[in-house]
């Protein structure tokens, strides 16, 4: 494993495998990178506010049992996996930008969740907007990946993640302020339309990238496919353990009797994860698979273990917040290196499909994971987090085993 610091300077031009001009890639701040990154910032400012408020709105305001929240999250990710898969396929066929704009334009549907008067109505409204987000995610990731050089791709995804969850951080602060002043949820959720529309306009300003023609497998095609399948399996398995952050929000809200402190859990999570992304944009890491296994999946399991110990030994709010920060660091590595690895292992002609399979695999895992988390939570919060620990560590072991030959699939990079 090699990690090297690379100053963000330089202005040479590079071309990708289809002759797309990659402008000023040595410093990663080209037009598409900035537009997509800030589009992600405003998108998260919108829907992350609704995500953070949904568990309290659903369970406390509308009176739904916690298992219904688990079912709602499972529905979001379960059907969302189908949207993600076909979103990737459509992107390869019709263009990354078109599908990115199409999906992003319909995300504001979830902004009307606060008008629901029964839990089923709230779940359906939110899910519809969330599925549109799943539809556009593979296309947006593919457009982003095609806009940067191989050498700088992981750094660019770090920048994307930093701004992405940075928008979520702003959202949670806004939510806490509006909860403090007792605004109604219909107003709180509705204001998210504004940043979501801005997000779509920024994607609309990007330049599309050509899709690569289909090519025959090279001599390492079989090994590449095995590694690709292993990554998807490990991603799905990790999804079984990576519960919605709504569960920690509920846990802290219940233990402190304060919804504001509960949302604070998510604020810390997003702040630390954002800083992790920005930090990763400053370094070049050669073996992303090894880092993903240790500092991604396994570290996330350690963070969940922190929740278990905080509950059993009554550590209180500091224990919950520190555990959330540990999980946040892990997610920063995961969100940076998973898409980077997919661009290495997937064929150039099907990066959109590869990103779609990545999102779909995670969603399938999250579908089952949130169902199990919701069920175990009814017997005791600690049992749900113990389950998360075991599965996270197992997923980390699989990714480390699958990545033994990962470096042989990477193109030689300039030193």
Q: Which pLDDT does position 171 carry in this prediction?
A: 92
Q: Which pLDDT does position 119 carry in this prediction?
A: 94
**Chain position carrying tokens 């569960």:** 247
Q: Which pLDDT does position 21 carry in this prediction?
A: 54
Q: Give which of 231, 239, 236 is closest to 344, Cα–Cα.
A: 231
For residue 244, pLDDT over 70 is answered with no
Q: Which pLDDT does position 206 carry in this prediction?
A: 95
* pLDDT cut 70: percent of the chain above it: 86
Q: Which pLDDT does position 360 carry in this prediction?
A: 79
* DSSP 8-state class, residue 27: G
Q: Which pLDDT does position 27 carry in this prediction?
A: 53
Q: Which pLDDT does position 192 carry in this prediction?
A: 97
What is the per-residue DSSP string for 224-256?
HHHHHHHHHHHHHHHHHH---THHHHHHHHHHH
Query: pLDDT category, 222, cuts 50, 70, 90?
Result: low
For residue 212, pLDDT over 60 is answered with no
Please give the Cα distance from 71 to 367 (Å, whole number).
8
* pLDDT cut 90: percent of the chain above it: 46
Supply 145's token pair.
């990946």
Domains of the chain: 27-209+218-409 (1.20.1250.20)
Average pLDDT on 314-326 reads 95
For residue 279, pLDDT over 90 is answered with yes
Minimum mean pLDDT range among 2-11, 132-141, 196-205:
2-11
Per the DSSP assignment, residues forming a β-bridge with 283 are 5
Average pLDDT on 211-220 reads 51
Query: pLDDT category, 15, cuts 50, 70, 90?
Result: low
Residue 352 or 112, more confident: 112
Contact 351, 92 (CB under 8 A): yes
Average pLDDT on 171-177 reads 91
For residue 232, pLDDT over 90 is answered with no
Half-sphere exposure of 123 (CA within 13 A, CB side): 19
Q: Which pLDDT does position 61 carry in this prediction?
A: 92
Query: pLDDT category, 146, cuts 50, 70, 90?
Result: confident
Q: What is the mean pLDDT of the chain?
A: 84
For residue 184, pLDDT over 50 is answered with yes
Contact 126, 72 (CB under 8 A): yes
Please give the Cα distance from 250 to 242 (Å, whole number).
15
Please give the Cα distance from 308 to 225 (Å, whole number).
37
Please give the Cα distance from 268 to 411 (Å, whole number).
37
Minimum mean pLDDT range among 28-42, 233-247, 251-265, 321-335:
233-247
Minimum mean pLDDT range among 194-198, 348-352, 362-366:
348-352
């Amino acid at each position: 494993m090699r990690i090297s610091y690379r100053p963000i300077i330089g202005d040479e031009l590079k071309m990708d495998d289809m002759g797309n001009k990659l402008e000023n890639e040595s410093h990663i701040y080209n037009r598409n990178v900035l537009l997509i990154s800030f589009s992600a910032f405003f998108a998260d400012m919108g829907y992350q506010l609704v995500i953070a408020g949904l568990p309290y709105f659903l369970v406390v305001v509308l009176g739904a049992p916690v298992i219904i929240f688990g079912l709602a999250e499972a529905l979001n990710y379960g059907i969302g996996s189908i949207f993600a898969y076909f979103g990737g396929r459509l992107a390869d066929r019709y263009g990354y930008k078109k599908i990115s704009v199409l999906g992003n334009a319909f995300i504001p549907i979830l902004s009307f969740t606060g008008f629901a008067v029964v839990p089923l109505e709230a779940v359906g409204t939110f899910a519809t907007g969330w599925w549109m987000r799943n539809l556009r995610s593979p296309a947006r990731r593919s457009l982003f990946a095609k806009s940067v050089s191989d050498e700088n791709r992981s750094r660019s995804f770090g920048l994307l993640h930093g701004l992405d969850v940075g928008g979520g951080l702003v959202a949670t602060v806004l939510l806490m302020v509006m909860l403090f002043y007792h605004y109604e949820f219909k107003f709180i959720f509705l204001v998210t339309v504004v940043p979501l529309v801005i997000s779509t306009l920024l994607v609309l300003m990007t330049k599309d990238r050509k899709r690569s023609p289909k090519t025959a497998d090279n001599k390492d095609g079989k090994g590449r496919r095995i590694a690709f399948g292993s990554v998807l399996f490990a991603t799905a398995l990790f999804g079984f353990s990576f519960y919605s952050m709504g569960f920690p929000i509920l846990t802290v809200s219940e233990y402190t009797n304060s919804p504001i402190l509960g949302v604070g859990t998510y604020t810390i999570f997003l702040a630390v994860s954002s800083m992790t992304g920005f930090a990763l944009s400053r370094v070049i890491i050669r073996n992303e698979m090894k880092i993903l296994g240790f500092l991604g999946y396994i570290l996330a399991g350690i963070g969940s273990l922190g929740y278990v110990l905080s509950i059993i030994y009554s550590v209180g709010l500091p224990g919950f917040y520190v555990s959330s920060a540990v999980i946040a660091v892990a997610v920063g590595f995961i969100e940076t290196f998973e898409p980077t690895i997919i661009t290495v292992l997937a064929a150039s002609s099907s990066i959109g499909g590869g990103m779609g399979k990545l999102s779909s695999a995670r969603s399938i895992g999250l579908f089952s994971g949130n169902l199990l988390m919701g069920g175990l939570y009814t017997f005791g919060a600690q049992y749900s987090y113990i389950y998360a620990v075991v599965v996270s560590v197992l997923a980390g072991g699989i990714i480390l085993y699958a990545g033994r030959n990962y470096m042989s699939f990477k193109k030689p990079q300039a030193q």
